[in-house]
Structure 1
Amino acid sequence: MRFVLLGGGVFALSLLVLHGQAGVPSSLPAPVLVAVAAAAGLAASWARRSWWPLAAVGAVAYAWLVVWPPLLVASYYAGLTLDRGRDLAAYLGGCVAVCGAATLVGAWQGGAREMATSVAGNALLLALAVMVLPAALGAWVRARREVVRTARERAENEQVMRAEQARAQERARIAREMHDVVAHRVSLIVLHAGALEMRAADDETAETAAMIGGIGREALANLRDVLGVLRAPRQDGELRPPPTLGDLDRLLDQSRALGIAVTRHDEGEARAVEPAVERTAYRVVQEALTNVHKHAGDVGADVRIRYGPRELEVEVRNQAPQAPRAELPGAGWGLVGLRERVELLGGTLRTSQEDGGGFLVSARIPA
């Protein structure tokens, strides 16, 4: 819309300039004058896509009839778009050639035209007003836009840096809290398990204590990895790979050692799937067995891994607890986080209470 208005303004102003020049209306018919003004207005309305047609129309109209509005607008766009230096100098050189042509035409026609374009002072004043000053104005507007854009980009970069700094500080605070609270408590568990193993009166108690110590040390290693991510998130290459389905048997053995009769069932033809899918499947089994320990105790559990043609299904079904059990403390966000993890891969997670009192955790993950 803005360029349509610009075209209309250039058309009206060009027509006004043509009508006001002495000798022009008598020498040229009115349709020709209107056509010249219309060509100037049409070229000005096209300036958003390309201002070169406007410059060409302006050069012809100025040299032939001293119609300056299209050349004035073209000079502004030249300063606005051309690189300062060789390109802008070439444009101004072309303007000098147009002024020379206008001088020759004015000397040939004589009268007021000769006075306007052939006298040195008048020609210089017209050139400054129509070509040089608009080009300088366009170059200034361009420079100002670049300064504003640079300032905006700098402000955005500073905002991103402040946000990154705030996130880094928050990660460091969380890491300190986890180290001071969680790591300390787990270390105490490992130490007490080691002491119990040394003082155990029978082999079964010693094995149980050794298993508790091993699980605690593994938890400390995993916690150390998490703290490393929180403190230095860009040094991922130094961390051990997260567990996958290849580590599932070790997880099941740990649950069996704690008294849960875990049975694994593999269905379908086992095949390699994406690492993210394997990690998520492992976490599904891990969280489900953790909930069995917390809420059901020493009951049987079935772990089923089913390889479908386009998805991997994981089911963990446990039996009903034999007696009411004092539940261990927890944050209550395990299944919520697990559901988010599964849904991020385009899968679904279903949890339900079984008729016999057991519980089912089922996940379907595209693979």
Structure 2
Amino acid sequence: MTPHRPIPPLATYRRLVADAHRLVPGLLGLAVLVASWMSVSGAVGVRSSWPTPALAALALAAGLAAWHTRVRRWPLYAVAGLAWIALAMWPALLVASYHAGTRQRDRRRLGAYLLWVCLVMGLSVPVGVAAGGYRYLTTVAPANFLMTCLLLVVLPLVVGLWVAARRETLTALRDRADQLEREQRARAEQVRAQERNRIAREMHDVVAHRVSLMVLHAGALEVRSTDAETVETAALIRSTGREALANLRDVLGVLRSGWVAGASLTPQPALVDLDRLLDESRDAGVAVTRHDEGTARALPPTLEHAVYRVAQEALTNVHRYARDVVTDVHLRYLPDGVELCVRNAAPGGTVETRAGAGLGLVGLRERVELLDGRLDAGPEPDGGFTVRARFPYPERVELA
């Protein structure tokens, strides 16, 4: 069996069609040149007694006029009329009639072309009568004259009009298809916007209300309690809850705006915010130590944000499952990339298992892999837990 050949992509076909379309004028000019020479030599027309250089010059002029007809049509009309009246050279007249049908959309211009053709055909009659012989028989005899008008003027003109009408129909259909596609995209965007608004309302109803109550109760506990440690803990809960509400409002704004380009959004955290994140963990009772290794360098904002999110998720897991344990955060600038390692010691008590455990790391791994990085997370032999993310440097570092 003959193996199947791979089908070229659509872009290849379009390029081939465009290349062929550019070759059409040259091929048309060459065809008119050859057919004109065959016409005056008697192969497919009336043989002429003019000198060979004059015949070659007129055939060349007809070919050049046909090649140049996309830019200007009047040279082709002039050469076609002169060639038919003088020598009964028909190729240029045939091409001129076809182009008149495809290009002359105005009725007045089309009527002017028909009057010009009638003038040319009328002037050729006395010239044919004077020439006599074979030319009189083929171009002046009534039956042959009518057949010549039909084949050289009427038929190519009708074909040109049909081609022009077909082009207009295809253009209208293409425009309608583009309009329907735009309307479909607009409806899809409207549906997405409605769904984002619905999700935003649900998030606000389900989450914001509960967090607000938590903040209110923490504020009341801060005011009423007499224990200094309780007051400090309540203040921390209240400030954390307020920050969570602010983050929730940012998320709702993103859902409603749909990441519109140029939308006013809160700047995403970067490495400069890492110390503030560690201070929040220390305030919550986690002994966190930061270690920087290597020579610091400027990183793209997207990469800095990903490193920050890895540290945030790792510390969140420490708060949930290990509580007040010693935790080390290592930020390493390597020759080929940047690495963040968060390791906590083994928890003292029993680790509480909660629903949804590990889902945060799944989303974190997807975020890291989007930047061609690698995330490793798992327990250590001594009972601790390590989250290690490594990102390669981009080829072109975008300065923050």
TM-score between both structures, scaled by the size of structure 1: 0.75
Structure 1 residues 102-141: aligned runs within 5 Å: 106-110=128-132, 111-115=136-140, 125-126=150-151, 128-141=153-166
Whole-angstrom CA distance in 2 between matches of 1:344 and 1:74 = 61
Structure 1 residues 273-292: aligned runs within 5 Å: 273-292=299-318
Out of 364, 367, 381, the residue aligned to residue 355 of structure 1 is 381
Whole-angstrom CA distance in 2 between matches of 1:347 and 1:87 = 68
> Which amino acid in 2 is paired with 1:285?
A
Q: 1:252 touches 1:262 (CA, 8 Å); kept in 2? A: yes
**1:3 aligned partner:** none
When the two chains are superposed, the root-mean-square deviation of aligned CA atoms in Å is 5.0
**1:225 aligned partner:** 250
Whole-angstrom CA distance in 1 between matches of 2:335 and 2:115 = 72
Whole-angstrom CA distance in 2 between matches of 1:287 and 1:205 = 26
Whole-angstrom CA distance in 1 between matches of 2:372 and 2:351 = 36
Whole-angstrom CA distance in 2 between matches of 1:324 and 1:92 = 100
Residues 119 and 362 of structure 1, relative CA distance in 2, 3 Å threshold: closer
1:214 paired to 2:239:
yes
Q: 1:225 touches 1:239 (CA, 8 Å); kept in 2? A: yes
Residues 295-338 of structure 1, C-alpha deviation per residue, up to 9 Å, x if partnerless?
22222221111123442221112222222222344475322222
CA displacement at 1:254 relative to structure 2: 1.1
Q: 2:368 touches 2:389 (CA, 8 Å); kept in 1? A: no
Out of 162, 182, 185, the residue aligned to residue 157 of structure 1 is 182
Whole-angstrom CA distance in 2 between matches of 1:76 and 1:199 = 96
Whole-angstrom CA distance in 2 between matches of 1:312 and 1:82 = 68
Whole-angstrom CA distance in 1 between matches of 2:347 and 2:102 = 79
1:179 paired to 2:204:
yes
- 5+ residue gaps, structure 1: 1-5, 28-43, 45-53
Whole-angstrom CA distance in 2 between matches of 1:108 and 1:137 = 38
Q: 1:245 touches 1:278 (CA, 8 Å); kept in 2? A: yes
- 5+ residue gaps, structure 2: 1-27, 50-65, 67-75, 394-399
Residues 117 and 325 of structure 1, relative CA distance in 2, 3 Å threshold: farther
Q: 1:103 touches 1:118 (CA, 8 Å); kept in 2? A: no
Q: 2:139 touches 2:148 (CA, 8 Å); kept in 1? A: no
Q: Which moved more, 1:263-272 or 1:102-111?
A: 102-111
Residues 148 and 315 of structure 1, relative CA distance in 2, 3 Å threshold: same
The DSSP-based 3-state class of the residue aligned with 1:343 is helix
TM-score between both structures, scaled by the size of structure 2: 0.69
> Which amino acid in 2 is paired with 1:187?
S
Residues 270-291 of structure 1, C-alpha deviation per residue, up to 9 Å, x if partnerless?
2321111111111111111112
Residues 290 and 129 of structure 1, relative CA distance in 2, 3 Å threshold: same
The DSSP-based 3-state class of the residue aligned with 1:180 is helix
Give % identity.
52
Whole-angstrom CA distance in 1 between matches of 2:342 and 2:105 = 68
Residues 235 and 146 of structure 1, relative CA distance in 2, 3 Å threshold: closer
